[in-house]
Structure 1
Amino acid sequence: MRRRILPAAAGLGITAVLLAVFGLLFSSADPVFAAYVTRLTTAPEWAESLPLRIVLFAVFAALAAAVVLVALRPVADPVGPDLKVPVNRAVWLVPLTAVNLLFAAFVAVQITALFGGDAWVLETAGLTYAEYARQGFFQLVAVSVVVLGIVAVAASVIRTERRERWVLAGQLGVLCALTMVVLFSALHRLDLYTDAYGLSRLRLSVEAAVYWLGALFALVLLAGAGRLAGRGSAWLPRTVVLVTGLALGVFAVVNPDLRVAESQVAVRGVQKLDSDYLGDLGAEAVPALNRLPEPLRSCVLADVVAANELSRPDPWNGWNLARAEARALLAEHPVAEGGTCPGHR
């Protein structure tokens, strides 16, 4: 084997040296020949992202193969060690009761604000509905995340007898139910703010996250009810992963940038549009932005074309449906050049 490899390697090395020497000489002697050599030795633009594409392809291929393997050869769920410890009832009953009372008081205030409307908010808090919606939204989402942690710790650490088990499950169930109302309040605040200023990428993403958290709490309540009925809850982690994957798929199908553009145009109107923000949206927003009046349409779409590089075709391995549809639409209705762009913000 070595007798064959070494001569072949030596021949390839000599060939490379000779081609490099003569190629450089010919290139310096003839500009036309040099141009051809440059084209042959210059990597195309899509090759710059080729390593990342290969890595992503390998990762997703491995994930798909793992899913198929588990589906074909299901395995038994591993049983972890029992980490539960006996805890005096007062240690967990008093804090959970106090927290539930606090949540109930907050929910009562939220219901009053919900049915009281704009006049109640102005009279009580001295805020507009938009200001009321903006304040405290992320705090409410953080509250729900903390509650998930409390439920996970209490369910996995505290060891209870049969009667105490029902009491603990009731406390945690009430806490989860009240937290779902808090999430609804946060979603209502976001809807109020969206009605005033339209959707944005951040608002739409947070709205999707709130729905996802609500689904998680519903699954936790089902798992708790199942455990009280004597059934296992080993299905919960897999279901959470499944729901998360489905949520990501639905979020992509919703087409966020298109929804943002439609909402901004519908809510803010032409006179109050933030053209700089709309110009940073993706190619998915082109159908909505194409309906704007001139010269605002051309100004915004020119920024979208520049931001998404729609002025040139995608490489063969970078084709995208939204970008292709955007290019076709812009070919039918070209962007006007040389116009004066109004200073909409």
Structure 2
Amino acid sequence: MRRLTPWTGAYALVAYTLISMAAVRDADWLVGVLLVAGLALAALAVSGAGLGWIGAIRGVLSVLLALPPVPWFLAEPLKRLTARRRILPVLAGLGLTAVLVGVFGLLFASADRVFASYVRRLTATPDWADTLPLRVFLFAVVAVLLAAVVLVALRPVNDPAGPEVKLTVSRSVWLLPLTAVNLLFAAFVAVQITALFGGDAWVLRTAGLTYAEYAREGFFQLVVVSVFVLGIVAVAAGVLRVGRRERWLLAGQLGVLCALTLVVLASALHRLALYTDAYGLSRLRLSVQATLWWLGAVFALVLLAGAVRLAGRGSAWLPRTAVLVTGVALAGFAFVNPDLRVAQTQVTVRGVAKMDSDYLGDLGAEAVPALDRLPEPQRSCVLADVVAANDLKDADPWNGWNLARAQARAVLAEHPIRPDVSCSGESSRTID
């Protein structure tokens, strides 16, 4: 078994935080992402892998890769458990017990009606019996996954070494394209700065757009541009073999490209901020906003890694740090409470006259405290949709307790939904 390291401890802590959010947040779209990310980080922590990018991928998939050997791993313990001299007496005792209890139970039930009524109650099919096959299936799946986790923890997992692909090419092959791309990025950044300080009048005069239309257009493309830049940096830094002098030149080109990309990301954030100031947040806008901040953190790490490499030190910490930052970013996104933030901004920015009742009615239980501040009849109409969408009418079982749902039910108990309001006249407006 691998020794616990600060990296594996940090992965385990973040994984626990992400998975435990299932008991705090109710929005299915968010909880699903958090569970997948938490399980991936837990697998990486158990395997101890992740020294490089390939090692990180190998660590995330380690539990799934360990599923095929699970039967061989469990074969010997099961063989000892089911040894003939141990299992046969147990089976014989269980069979004899069933026969005796069944015979005497039937005789007693036929002899006394009161006893028969208790027997019928005990042998009646419980409500949970309908879901018993699903419960057994889930139990088997979880058991197999736990066996795979134990197998990964017991077996030494070596970080696979990636193929050493280094190409020696002429300086002009990479210098000219990188210089051209940097000039293009610089021109775009100059336009963004001009638009930022020129304001509404400059945009209307130059682009023929309203400021809201200008803010809405393009930030998805800017996110794609930043992802492409990460690919360019990865290929140039990992594939090109350059001399000592050329190394500084290549690092300078890539550093300028990353710095300009950070400005592009800031421009995308500014556009998104203008748009949300006018129309409020939505799940998509808040997710894009979080993605932009995460990309900014990744580019900052890449710039730091490049500076460290130029100083003669290694950058093997970059893959693990990027994975850890991603996990922490997801945890922070969950703590922000997206559905509550969306409800708050829709109520305050768009107001009752322009709000999309159908969209708000599909939010999770986290949105109930914000939606409770709406005036009637909009409050009861929207909250009725939230209750129906999230099944808040009936209490959750003890093993399905959720903080957001409990808080929503407390709000609804204090301020019940009015059954006498009419929602047929409520119009639905699409969130722009």
TM-score (norm 1): 0.86
Residue 38 of structure 1: which of 114, 124, 131 is its match?
A: 124
Hey, what's the Cα distance between the residues in 2 that align with 1:89 and 1:248?
40
Distance 1:326 1:338 in 2: 21
Which residue of structure 2 lines up, in the alignment, with residue 195 of structure 1?
277
Once superposed, what is the RMSD of the aligned Cα atoms?
A: 3.6
Partner in structure 2 of residue 180 of structure 1: 262
The CA distance in 1 between the partners of 2:132 and 2:366, in whole Å, is 22
Aligned to 1:85: 167
* AA aligned opposite 1:343: E
Task: Quickly say closer, same or farther: Cα 1:5–1:52, change in 2 above 3 A.
Answer: closer
Aligned to 1:269, which of 348, 351, 354? Answer: 351
**Aligned mates of 2:185, 2:339 — CA distance in 1:** 36
- Contact 1:46–1:315 (CA<8 Å) still a contact in 2? no
Does the aligned pair in 2 maintain the 1:198–1:267 contact within 8 Å?
Answer: yes
CA distance in 2, matches of 1:247, 1:12: 54
Distance change >3 Å, CA 143–CA 61, structure 1 → 2: farther
Q: What is the aligned partner in structure 2 of residue 242 from structure 1?
A: 324
Question: Separation in 2 of the partners of 1:320 and 1:183?
Answer: 36
SS in 2 for 1:159: coil
Aligned to 2:40: none
Matched residue, 2:426:
343
- One-letter amino acid of the structure 2 residue matched with residue 221 of structure 1: L
Task: Provide structure 1 residue ranges, at least 5 long, that are not aligned to the other structure.
Answer: none
Aligned to 2:243: 161
Q: Provide the residue aligned with 2:298 in structure 1.
A: 216
Kindly indicate whether residue 216 of structure 2 is the aligned counterpart of residue 134 of structure 1.
yes
Contact 2:378 2:426 in 1 (8 A): no
Task: Name the structure 2 match of 1:279.
Answer: 361
Distance in 1, matches of 2:344 and 2:239, equals: 48
Unmatched tracts of structure 2, length 5 or more: 1-82
- Secondary structure of 1:233's counterpart equals coil
Distance in 2 between residues matched to 1:61 and 1:273, nearest whole Å: 50
TM-superposed deviation, 1:331: 0.8
CA distance in 1, matches of 2:268, 2:407: 36
Q: Give the letter for the 2:349 counterpart.
A: V
Aligned length: 339
Aligned identity (percent) is: 71
Counterpart CA distance in 2 for 1:61 and 1:3 is: 26
| CA-CA distance at 1:112 after TM superposition | 1.1
Q: Are the equivalent residues in 2 in contact too, given 1:273–1:344 (CA < 8 A)? A: no
Which residue does 2:64 correspond to in 1?
Answer: none
Give the SS at the match of 2:395. coil
Alignment deviations for residues 78-114 of structure 1 (CA, whole Å, 9 cap, x no partner) = 8655421211101100100111111111111111111
Cα deviation code 1:261-305 (max 9, x no counterpart): 000001100111111110111111111001111111111111111
Q: Does residue 415 of structure 2 align to residue 329 of structure 1?
A: no
Higher relative CO (Cα under 8 Å, sequence separation at least 6) belongs to 2
Deviation at 1:241, TM superposition (A): 1.0
Residues 1:98 and 1:184: Cα distance change in structure 2 (over 3 Å): same
CA change 1:14–1:180 in 2 (3 A) is same
* Structure-2 change in CA distance of 1:96 and 1:57 (3 Å): farther
**Cα 1:291–1:133 shift into 2, 3 Å:** same
Q: Distance in 2 between matches of 1:212 and 1:178?
A: 16
Q: Which amino acid aligns with 1:226?
A: V
The aligned amino acid for 1:116 is G
Give matches, 1:313-324, under 5 Å: 313-324=395-406
Q: Secondary structure at the match of 2:124?
A: helix
Q: Tell me, yes or no, if the aligned pair for 2:279 and 2:349 is still in contact at 8 Å.
A: yes
Q: Which residue identity is paired with 1:38?
A: A
Shift in CA distance, 48/157, structure 1 to aligned 2, threshold 3 Å: same
Aligned counterparts, 1:11-90, within 5 A = 12-13=94-95, 37-40=123-126, 42-43=128-129, 48=134, 52=138, 82-90=164-172
